[in-house]
Amino acid sequence: MDSILVLYSLVAATSAYLLWFYLLARKLTGPKVWPLLGSTPSLFMNRRRIHDWIAGNLGATAGAATYQTCTIAIPFLARKQGFYTVTCHPKNIEHILRTRFHNYPKGPTWQTAFHDLLGQGIFNSDGETWLIQRKTAALEFTTRTLRQAMARWVNRTIKTRLWRILEKASEDKVPVDLQDLLLRLTFDNICGLTFGKDPETLSLELPENLFSIAFDSATEATLQRLLWPGFLWRLKKIFGIGAEMILRKSLAVVENYMTEALNARIETPSDDLLSRFMKKRDVDGNLFPSSVLKRIALNFVLAGRDTSSVALSWFFWLVMNHHHIEQKIINEISTVLAETRGQDRWKWIEEPLNFDEADRLVYLKAALAETLRLYPSVPEDFKYVISDDVLPDGTRVPRGSIVTYSIYSVGRMKTIWGEDSMEFKPERWLSSSEDRFEPPKDVYKFVAFNGGPRTCLGKDLAYLQMKSVASAVLLRFRLSLVPGHRVEQKMSLTLFMKNGLKVYLYPRGLMASGVSNAFVSSHNLARAT
């Protein structure tokens, strides 16, 4: 009898909750809410196009924006009775990232999931722990020596590796996966800049690197924790099964590699970030211990690899589909090099652009910014709500809930960017005379590099690296997508191309300056022999 009573009570409580949930959800803006299931059916059906689905629900793909904040209802599975707040309203984003910054930290869910990989590093910490690292990093990122170090790594990987791989592929008439090459290039660069150790993943043989493989596996396994309730992945961790077993093995490889890198820096300090942090002190005035230094370094590797390579992949794809923009980029590069290297056009392609030359490429920077508007490397970001709050557009967010701001959707809003918001148009970033780069006056209309106190410290270095790589490729080669290759978004926290970017390469030489392809090829052959 008691068991029947308990069963009836459970059924009654569940039924009451679901009825309450359904009646409340009907009043919300956002995707259709079904009895018992909430928005789960729509979420499941759109799981392979989640960013466009969110943009549609926020009004970014409508004739005119219907609303810029919505609630996704997922009963039982979500925090605070199953309601997620999602916004792309610039005023809301400014409120979250700047005005009430301290009310919207990373939060316990994110920090706990990423702790094994990133520890209390700058991208996985809040409060004083974050602040001391932020201040230290901010001082270092403004130094010219770090800029010069980055320039050396970038030019080295372009000249001795990337060019050789692309030239061989062009000569052999075989396609390459440009996204994979760019990931390898930025990984080598950021590892060199961060702890002075070159993993050499970019080379003609395209070798497998144990640290790179383990780092990727650890990142993927860590991301899976966000897809499951906390108690489930903790159980898997205790028993060492599934993704948690992969994570443990991968972290062991990463730990050994980082220990070797740290020991090398202790013996021979350099101008890399790890050497610089070894001299700094924590919130208690003590030098950072080895365990923390290794996690700090890994945080920079995670942030510095994927973002630039992913942005460059989408940039090259867009340029391939907009030849008039490609030609304007080539013309700008040619004009700058004529001024810095003279009229001997072979000098233009003997060395990659240095950072001072890259600084002058205004139209190329506009094209990269336009790429990030349409295809931000991190399409969605999440914040935890400490105290009950009301966003500027009137949306109430309860404490303990999660607020998502959709960077992907912001870049598609017609109310922000105009009727041509879906067009690839670098000119929207230029002054009326087209000689200056001019971002929007409201900086929270473009948050591909975050905003407020957590604005990306490496923003300028990222632009310079991307401009150097883009110039190095486009000045030498014309790209063509492999017939039948499908360019699709991978549904992850970073906007990778699901199938890579497979392209054929054709020698461009200096066609924009009237030099024939055949002459360029013969010149390259003569230099090689």
> DSSP label at 272?
S
**Cβ pair 58, 67 in contact under 8 A:** yes
Question: Is 88 among the annotated ligand-binding positions?
Answer: no
**Phi, then psi, of 457 in degrees rounded to 5:** -70, -30
Q: Which helix (H) or strand (E) holds 335?
A: helix 323-341
> DSSP label at 513?
G
Q: Which helix (H) or strand (E) holds 405?
A: strand 402-406
> What is the sign of the dihedral through the CA atoms of 247, 252, 256 and 259?
positive
- Strands across the sheet containing 502-507: 176-177, 502-507, 477-481
Please classify residue 209 by burial: count the beta carbons closer than 10 Å to its beta carbon, then call 0-12 exposed, 13-18 middle and 19+ buried.
buried
SS3 state of residue 515: coil
361 vs 474: CA distance, rounded Å = 13
Where b means 16+ CB within 10 Å and e means fewer, 508-524 reads: bbbebeebeeeebeeeb
**What are the helix and strand counts (H, E) for the chain?**
22, 9
- Of 126, 456, 110, 463, the closest CA to residue 300 belongs to 456
**Phi, then psi, of 405 in degrees rounded to 5:** -110, 125
SS3 state of residue 480: strand
| CB-facing half-sphere around the CA of 134: CA atoms within 13 A | 14
**Cβ pair 21, 81 in contact under 8 A:** yes
36 vs 57: CA distance, rounded Å = 21
**Phi, then psi, of 494 in degrees rounded to 5:** -110, 140
Annotated binding site: 456
Q: Which residues are annotated as a binding site for heme?
A: 456
